Amino acid sequence: MRLVIDIGNTRIKAAVFEQDTMVYHSVFSKEAWQRNIESILMQHPKCTDLVVASVAETSEATFTFLEGRLKIHLISRQTNFPFENLYQSPNTLGIDRMVLASGAVLQYPNQARLVIDAGTCITYDFINEQDEYLGGAISPGIRLRYQAMHQFTAKLPLLSASVPESMIGKTTEQSMHVGVVGGITQEIDGFISQYQANHPKIIIILTGGDAEFLAKQLKNTIFAHSNFLLESLNKTFQYAIKND
């Protein structure tokens, strides 16, 4: 068994896998990460490996408290990925985006794929039929948009995401929900339509913390998969082990 963790901008996602089967998963804050990992290992003492991907600089020294208990594997740009990276600034490409692209290639072979990760930021990652990673887009996520309106204006309140009743906001709060939620769904549907125009059979994968919320608002047919990053991390590790 192996413990797989993704260290994101605001939270840590963790899962325990037995080969390809996820038997446990959780999400917790960075402040409590060590205590939570200890708790997971107490529940799953048969774990022998720890697989880590992080958007921040992370070294094996971060996990010294696990020495002698698990073998540590850090997924980095030096890891063997199942695609050719044609991004023009490859050293700036987030490891989370690379892992998502890897999972899309391994799970949906020989097809064009667009992975949309709706988290702190919304990222779009395109991999063509030849397994070439070409790039995509980055935009603010739901929470960032609400926070920006609150922090950079004098009177707009800080709201939580809510589905607007109409595309015409009749109060300030309704107008903000239309602007954020309506704006994001229009953005995602627009990107999908543009990609579909050039790749009619493209696979669309929506993941991230806001995936389930947004999936219900979108017009286009998608695969909504909130745990796709963790599954992709597990698949990437297995691929790298076999192809080193």
Contacts of 141 (CB under 8 A, 6+ apart): 118, 119, 120, 121, 122, 184, 208, 210
Residue with tokens 């286009």: 220
Asked about 117 being catalytic, the answer comes back as no
Cβ proximity of 220 and 58 under 8 Å: no
Phi/psi-derived region of residue 135, left when phi > 0, alpha when psi is between -120 and 50, beta in every other case: left
| DSSP 8-state code for residue 225 | -
State which amino acid sits at residue 31.
Answer: E
SS3 92: helix
- Tell me how long the chain is: 244
Which is nearest to 208 in space by CA: 107, 133, 138, 158? 138
Cβ proximity of 137 and 125 under 8 Å: no
Catalytic residue among 6, 20, 96, 189: 96
Cβ proximity of 133 and 113 under 8 Å: no
When computed from its CA atoms, the radius of gyration of the chain, rounded to whole angstroms, is 19
Q: Which residues are catalytic?
A: 96
